[in-house]
Structures are given as structure tokens and as C-alpha cells.
Amino acid sequence: MHVRIVGLGPIGTRFAVESLERGHRVTAIDIDQSRLARVAADRNDPLNRYREANAPLELATQPSPGAGCDVTRICVGTTGADGDFDGSSVDFALGALEPMLAKGELVAIESTVPPFSTQTRFRAILESGGRIVGEDVFLVAAPERTDVARSRDESIPKVVGGVTPACTRRGVEIFERLVDTVVPVRSAAVAEAAKMLENAFRFVNVAFANEFAEALAAAGLEPRDVVAAAATKPFGFMAFWPGTGIGGDCVPLAARLYCDFAVTTQTEAAIAGAALRSDALAPQRILRRIERAAGGQAKRVLLLGLSYKSFARSTAWSPGARLARFLVERGLQVDIIEPALTRLDDGSLGTLVTAETLRQPYDVAIVAAWNEEVGAILERKPATVVLDLSGSPHV
Ligand SMILES: NC(=O)c1ccc[n+]([C@@H]2O[C@H](COP(=O)([O-])OP(=O)(O)OC[C@H]3O[C@@H](n4cnc5c(N)ncnc54)[C@H](O)[C@@H]3O)[C@@H](O)[C@H]2O)c1
């Protein structure tokens, strides 16, 4: 099969690798030339070894006519700089694609988008040149659910909903050759709304777990002990581990999409709204916790891990960074250990240190995200008080 992937961020890169592993031909498109250059120049780039091994992989900055693709997977970013939904990259990508589509080609919207976007806004772009969706070309919503910090060996079912029944059938046929498990649903909007539900659910629960943790800590209980105890209940409970706040772009985006959806449906998103407000207060709560733990004397903090969640390499949308900035603004010295970075571009976050340049003792060490170096640093007992706010079950 010939698979075209539009948007080579972490998600598109993963799609490209998985498609090549399954023996498909891949054309990977990214509007950002420097992203394509990295595939060739960076030995750690997941696509580099396929390129060097002359795998059937083409890289381009725009779609070309006559490519004869079976499917185009749209996975461009959809979060604006302010954290709200911005669908303009999908519009732009589809606009460039529309004149190039092959007869019978499937277009899959895998970016996170509000319910009904595929059926209305994106369908209109594909039909702007006179083609009919469901006859000449096919269109589905198949929102991506990957956790980039997890192993790719773990198979995640793919929900696929078409704009027409024929689109769903074509989507299922194609995705059965791309993933292990395909879950057809009644419509594109069902697929989009399911993604919104999954991630808004996560947002609300993590916000609750973080808020609850402060009350437990204030009462002299270790929040992680309480979560671990509750997690032994075999039904009706799901463990969310206390963290520094909610990071990444996708989970907060879904909570915001749901709040917007409530406005358009003239309903109320009181719980999600409260969770968004609660999460914005996370740095204040953690400062209070630091002060309580250090007897009000905290001046020097070691922050371990700046990625947006444990074992992710990316520091974009990092709640640890938001916390670091907040603590620096309050006059604390913040040293940061993050092996994925060689320098800190943003001076407002504190100072990047390494195992060699650690300035211990610190009043408090905060595990903001686990990575391969955190355990060894903690063994050196950099602080008398250690708060595990990694949001994950390790240690
Ligand atoms: N990263 C995650 O953990 C995750 C998980 C599930 C779903 N998602 C969703 O998947 C989508 C992609 O996520 P990501 O993290 O890979 O995004 P990203 O923003 O990191 O990468 C998107 C890439 O698309 C490129 N791009 C933008 N406009 C383009 C265009 N018109 N043509 C070609 N390329 C274009 C950008 O240059 C960039 O390299 C988003 O909607 C996100 O919400 C992300």
C-alpha cells in the first residue's frame, strides 16, 4: 500500500515507522523543511535508519500530483500557542491535498479535532473541486490515541468513523492493514467525540488527583500511599498519581474542546471548567506543599525531569516548566536536571545542572518527571525532602 503521511511530528513519525515496518511504501510530508532535514542529519531520528537502508520512504514539503496513494493520514498539530484548538493547519493541509487526490483514496483525520469537524469543515474542503466524498474519495475521522512515552509494542485499537457508511467501510479496509485492531463506529463525529471524552476524562481526573493530594499532604499523609492503597480495589477506581500539573497539548486541548462543545450545544461543562481552573492553580499548591515539607524555609529546589510527562523526551507543554517558572518568580533558586536538554533556552526556568554540577544540598527535590537519570541522582540524597510529583506510579 502507498501511505501518505502529512505532518511529521511525534505522531506522524510514529505512523511512518509503523507503516514501513508493515512493508508499506511511505511518502512523508512536512511543511517545515528543517523537520525533513533532521531525518537525514540526526542519527537518533526514528526515520533515519530507514532512509539510510533505502527503505521505500520519500520525504517532501508538499503533496505531488499522480502519487497514487491509497491513504493520506493527516496528523498536523491542532493546538494554538494559547492552548486552544486551531484547525488552520488541517485546513491548509487538506487544501494542498485536494487537487492531488487519487480516485478512491482515503483521507484519515487523525489530529485531535472537535466533533463534526470532519463531516462539515473538512468534507467541504475535499469537495471544493467537485469530487464527492463517499464516491470519488473517502473521508474518516480516526483520532490518534498514542502515548508517545509508551512502547510501540503495545497495540492500541483504532477507532474509525466515516463521513458516509462507504467511507467507514473503506477506512476499516485500509486501517486493518495499518494497525492490529480497528473499531468501526457509527460516524466521524462519534470517533471525534470519543477522543474528546477519553482525554477530557483524563484531564478531570488528574486535576482531581492533584487537588486531593494537597489535602492529604496537609494532613500529614503521603498522597502516593493513599493512591496505592485505593488502587488495590479491583473495580470502580482508576489510579491517577499526583503530579506538577497537566501537560502535553492533547489532554488539555480535549478539556477545552469539551468546554467549547458545551457552549455550542448550550449545555454546561461545570466539571471540566473547574478542572481547568484547578490545574491553573497547581504551582501555588505545590509551593505550599514545599513550604510545609521544608518547614517554611525552602530556598533551594532541585527539579528532576522537565519533560511534559515521565519518560517522554519532549519538554513542550511541560507542567514542570510552568512550576519551575513560578518558583523562580517567587524568589526560589531552581536547579533542573533534564538529560534530554543540553541548555535551557528559557532563562526564567532556573539553571540546568548535571549530575556533575549538582549544587546540593537542596531543601527539596521534586521529581517532576521520571527519566533514566532520576534514580541515580536520588541515590545521592540531594535533599532531605523528596516529593514525587511525577504523575506516574514509579518508585
Ligand atoms: N503527541 C501526542 O502525544 C499526541 C497523542 C495523540 C494525539 N495527538 C494529536 O495528533 C496531532 C499531531 O500531534 P504531534 O504531537 O505529532 O504534532 P506536532 O505539532 O508536534 O507536529 C505536527 C507537524 O506537522 C507539520 N505541519 C503543520 N502544518 C502542516 C501542513 N500543512 N503540511 C504538512 N505538515 C504540516 C509541522 O511542521 C509539524 O512538524 C495533534 O492534533 C495532536 O493533538 C498527539
Structural element, H or E, at residue 52:
helix 48-52
Mind listing the pLDDT tens digit for each residue in 159-205? 999 999 999 999 999 999 999 999 999 999 999 999 999 999 999 99
CATH number of the domain enclosing 374: 3.40.50.720
101 and 45 both lie in a single domain? yes
Cβ of residue 10 lying under 6 Å from some atom of ligand 1:
yes
Assess if residue 190 is contained within a domain: no
Split at pLDDT 50, 70, 90, the class of 296 is confident
* Domain final residue pick, 161, 185, 209: 185
Which run of H or E residues covers position 199?
Answer: helix 188-218
Nearest to 14 by CA among 113, 110, 148: 148
> Do 301 and 368 lie in a common domain?
yes
CA 255 to chain centroid, in Å, comes to 13
Same domain, 46 and 161: yes
- Residue 97 sits in the same domain as residue 213: no
**Residue 140 pLDDT more than 90?**
yes
CA angle at residue 143 from 138 to 144, to 5 degrees? 125
Q: pLDDT tens across 299-342, in order?
A: 999 999 999 988 888 888 999 999 999 999 999 999 999 998 98
pLDDT at 312: 85
Q: Please state, rounded to an integer, the average pLDDT across all residues of the chain.
A: 94
Q: Range of 273's domain?
A: 197-388
Given 185, 215, 247, the domain boundary residue is 185
User: What's the confidence (pLDDT) of residue 153?
Assistant: 63
Confidence of residue 64 (pLDDT cuts 50, 70, 90): very high
Answer yes or no: do 233 and 258 share one domain. Answer: yes
230 phi, psi to nearest 5 deg: -65, -30
Ligand 1 near 250 CB (within 6 A): yes
Of all atoms in ligand 1, which is nearest to the CA of residue 29? 33
Q: Are residues 160 and 220 in the same domain?
A: no
Confidence band, pLDDT 50/70/90 cuts, at residue 40: confident
Q: Of 160, 185, 210, which closes a domain?
A: 185
Which residue CA neighbors atom 28 of ligand 1 most closely?
Answer: 89
Please check whether residue 355 lies inside any domain of the structure.
yes
Cis upstream peptide for 157 (omega within 30°): no
Shared domain for 113 and 215, answered yes or no, is no
Residue 394 falls inside a structural domain = no
**373: in domain:** yes
Question: Helices 282-293 and 188-218 meet at what angle, rounded to 10?
Answer: 30
- Proportion of the chain above pLDDT 90, given as a percent: 85
Residues 178 and 201 in one domain: no
Does the CB atom of residue 30 touch ligand 1 within 6 A?
Answer: yes
- Mean predicted confidence (pLDDT) in 10-18: 94
Q: Is the CB of 72 under 6 A from ligand 1?
A: no
Q: Is 395 part of any domain?
A: no
Asked whether the whole model's pTM tops 0.85, one would answer yes
The verdict on 172 and 297 lying in the same domain is no
* 234 and 131 within one domain: no
Q: Is 120 within the bounds of a domain?
A: yes
* 179 located within any domain: yes
pLDDT beyond 70 at 24: yes
How remote is the CA of residue 257 from the centroid of ligand 1, in Å?
17
- Asked if residue 163 is part of any domain, the answer here is yes
| Sheet with 362-367: strands ordered across | 351-352, 333-337, 300-304, 362-367, 383-388
Atom of ligand 1 nearest to the CA of 89: 28
Indicate the number of domains in the chain: 2
Q: Are residues 175 and 206 both part of a single domain? A: no
Asked if 78 and 210 sit in the same domain, the reply is no
> Is the pLDDT score of 149 beyond 80?
no
- Nearest CA among 40, 49, 45 for reference residue 21: 49
